[in-house]
Amino acid sequence: MRCRAVLVSLARPSRDLSALEDGDGCQDWWTKYFASVEAMIEENKELRKEKSIFQNQPNGTLPMLLDEAVTQGQLAASGEKNPGITPTKKLFSLKSPTNAARFVSKLSPKQTQHKFKKTALLKIYPGELEVQPEFEQFKEWLHTFELYRGKKTGDEIEDESRIVGSFKGALKVYKWPLPKDLVNHTVMGFDPQYGFFQGVPSNEPIHVLVRVYIVKANDLHPCDLNGKADPYVVLQLGGKRISDKENYVSKQLNPVFGKCFEIEATFPQDSLLTVQVLDWDLVGTDDMIGETKIDLENRFYSRHRATCGLTKKYDETGYNKWRDAMKPTQILSKLCKDGKIDGPVYSHGRVTIGRKTFSLSNEEMEFYVHTKGIEEHLALAVLHEWSSFPRIGCALIPEHVETRPLYNPEKPGIEQGKLEMWVDMFPMDMPSPGPSLDISPRKPKSYELRVIIWNTDDVVLEDDAFFTGEKMSDIYVKGWLKGPEDCQSTDIHYRSLTGEGNFNWRFIFPFDYLVAEEKIVINRKESLFSWDETECKIPARLELQVWDADHFSADDFLGAITLDLNRFPRGAKNSKLCSLSMLKTDGSVPTVNIFKQKRIKGWWPFYVKKENEDMELTGKVEAEIHLLTKEEAEKNPAGFGRNEPDPLEKPNRPDASFMWFLNPLKSIKYIVWHNYKWAILKAIVAICFIILMLLFFYAIPGYSVKKILGA
């Protein structure tokens, strides 16, 4: 009986790679890593949704019956025949909770939208590779037995100190002739009538090239008084030791190493790899934070092929370049030969292995028919489904990053952090695998953010005028990108009676940015006595605040707005359209990524939060945000504030906008005269009249005497 299955490749063709491109269009291994992290997060969200679906169902089931096309995850390689069902269709029952949840997740808009956008991803395991259930701890046939000196006491700590070595091998005790209820094949997939250790590799010494990739560490235990650590990596394999002390990461508990170490080993002598993370100290010996140990020999001889992970997509160039010494067709041929089955036979987008035939979907066939490596794509897709083969099938190791806990022998059982890494192994008698992957940490790109504060409007009036008692504010705007120590301020618009302010003032913020992580990178010394600079990463957020300047007391804070440079609301066209509704986070407000749009101008609201967390509008600001690379900024320089080069015009402020005690004449003109003009005129008239009356009464007695005397 021959079985046929539609094989949909695990990865979309490279024309959809744009889904993973970062802001620069430049792809490297970290592109794949961060995309995989996002995919893992989305997958966990879907699992939580599935769980919530069944918690809301009265009986935990959705009794439905649907026809669904066969997909990659439902590769029909079982060989079963159902009348009335075509080979490319199968009856999909939703009577089980698992099937129902899978169906609901497939109908979700997000799942449909991103169905084919996941490409060139890798698997990120939250634990060690050997503890994953599908890999059987790499002990399918090769087991390790500790050898002790003396008798066993039952005390784990004491017994561990008495270990003098280990024996690796396999023991099998069985009846002969074999009982009928015994499984019909061995661990390696052979007939047990001819022995249980068929297919076991030779125990002759073998030389292996080992590549150890150390990606990053997380949540390391602090070793210094400042609550930080200066970690670096040390590798030990047999009698060889590699130390990366010169490249320690200063004051980090979550360091990114991005290192690849190459060691030549000989099995079985050099089988245990020890990876240590040490804390660098300027004075004294370095402290060990933690270590992890990996049995390379078990991995090398495992049928799960833990030597080099299989990528999800075959590429001969680029960041997803195939890195194994053997191509997918060669690996598949070897597996078929070792399993003693016929094949593989390739023809017109199909591959036949034994009694099973696999073919690409029409969409994949349309793309790969014009490429040279169609057989490699076919073989790789079959390798990812190798576990579906009866008897000889098993899960093969995918391209991955494993997360290993770190332990300190002096603190047994207490985790000291986690290490993300993976190991590749290549026999020295095979063709060279080519250069190692470059996983060195990405270098941040230098940018310059220019923010022009044009105007403000409807700013709350905080002060009372000294002479008149009118409500007013002396408005100015602050802004920063890296932190309050990076703060820049406009000049002050004095005596704003309506909340309007005019500035025409430019802020300039140079910064280094990691596109993939959406973080600003800052290198600075934590204190005056620090030996070197510490790298820290912060979100790319522009903070703008509006303040009221006071002459004899602290300035009053009026409001603020924080703009995430990767996703902030599009500015309103005018002040009237600017409101707090622009700050909604429910997806109803269009957002802007300044790293893509480069330049934007508009109005944004200032606000303060009340005690009940409600927002209160306290003003509006008209700003222009312009992002340039370092090279663009050097070609088109601009000055701070209104200075050269590319100066801004002085704002056309009202005549009443000035500091009263520095301009007494203006104070008389615009404050006293403007508000008390008629009172002053009346007072002058009254004073003149009084003077005239006084002069009149003063002159009457003398004039009367002269008149009487006839003078």
Angstrom distance (rounded) from CA 703 to CA 313? 122
Can you give the pLDDT at residue 191?
Answer: 63
Can you give the pLDDT at residue 144?
Answer: 82
Mean pLDDT of 131-148: 84
The answer to whether the CB of 564 falls within 8 A of the CB of 540 is: yes
Mean pLDDT of 465-482: 81
Could you tell me which residue, 495 or 568, shows the higher pLDDT?
568
Confidence category of residue 56, pLDDT binned at 50, 70, 90: low
Mean pLDDT of 92-121: 44
Can you give the pLDDT at residue 540?
Answer: 95
Can you give the pLDDT at residue 530?
Answer: 67
Can you give the pLDDT at residue 195?
Answer: 63
What mean pLDDT value characterizes the chain? 80
Could you tell me which residue, 199 or 48, shows the higher pLDDT?
48
Which of 132-136, 373-377, 623-627 has the lowest average pLDDT? 373-377
Could you tell me which residue, 224 or 287, shows the higher pLDDT?
287
Mean pLDDT of 552-577: 93
Amino acid identity of residue 125, one-letter, is: Y
pTM equals: 0.72
**515-533 core/surface letters (b: 16 or more CB in 10 A; e: else):** bbbbbbbbeeeeeeeeeee
Instruction: State pLDDT tens for residues 533-547.
Output: 778 889 999 999 999
The answer to whether the CB of 47 falls within 8 A of the CB of 155 is: no
- The two tokens of residue 17 are 């790679």
**670-698 core/surface letters (b: 16 or more CB in 10 A; e: else):** bbeeeeeeeeeeeeeeeeeeeeeeeeeee
Instruction: State pLDDT tens for residues 660-706.
Output: 455 555 555 555 555 667 777 888 889 998 998 888 888 888 778 77
Total residue length of the chain: 711
Percent of the chain whose predicted confidence (pLDDT) is above 70: 77
Could you tell me which residue, 250 or 172, shows the higher pLDDT?
250
Can you give the pLDDT at residue 668?
Answer: 52
Tokens 């209104």 correspond to: 642
Confidence category of residue 106, pLDDT binned at 50, 70, 90: very low
Can you give the pLDDT at residue 104?
Answer: 38
Instruction: State pLDDT tens for residues 126-136.
Output: 999 999 999 98
Can you give the pLDDT at residue 183?
Answer: 63
Can you give the pLDDT at residue 66?
Answer: 31
Can you give the pLDDT at residue 665?
Answer: 52
Q: Locate the DSSP E strands across 460-539.
A: 463-464, 471-480, 488-489, 493-496, 501-514, 519-524, 534-539
Mean pLDDT of 365-391: 80
- C-alpha 462: how far from its chain's center? 42
Angstrom distance (rounded) from CA 639 to CA 622? 19
For residue 398, count other CB atoms closer than 10 A to its CB: 16
pLDDT at 437 over 70: yes
Angstrom distance (rounded) from CA 624 to CA 646? 15
Maximal CA-CA distance, the chain: 171
Angstrom distance (rounded) from CA 113 to CA 626? 32
pLDDT at 67 over 50: no
Percent of the chain whose predicted confidence (pLDDT) is above 90: 43
Q: Which helix (H) or strand (E) holds 405?
A: strand 400-408
Confidence category of residue 246, pLDDT binned at 50, 70, 90: very high
Confidence category of residue 145, pLDDT binned at 50, 70, 90: confident
Which of 2-6, 204-208, 334-338, 558-562 has the lowest average pLDDT? 2-6
Can you give the pLDDT at residue 398?
Answer: 95
Mean pLDDT of 159-185: 74
pLDDT at 452 over 50: yes
Can you give the pLDDT at residue 465?
Answer: 59
Mean pLDDT of 134-144: 82
Alpha carbon distances (Å) from 35 to 17, 22, 566? 11, 10, 17
Confidence category of residue 439, pLDDT binned at 50, 70, 90: very high
Confidence category of residue 107, pLDDT binned at 50, 70, 90: very low
Amino acid identity of residue 160, one-letter, is: E
Can you give the pLDDT at residue 95?
Answer: 40
Instruction: State pLDDT tens for residues 288-308.
Output: 999 999 999 999 988 899 999
For residue 21, count other CB atoms closer than 10 A to its CB: 13
Q: Which helix (H) or strand (E) holds 33?
A: helix 29-56
Instruction: For residue 161, give the 3-state DSSP assignment.
Output: helix
Which of 67-71, 206-210, 353-357, 493-497 has the lowest average pLDDT? 67-71
Mean pLDDT of 569-588: 92
Can you give the pLDDT at residue 77?
Answer: 37
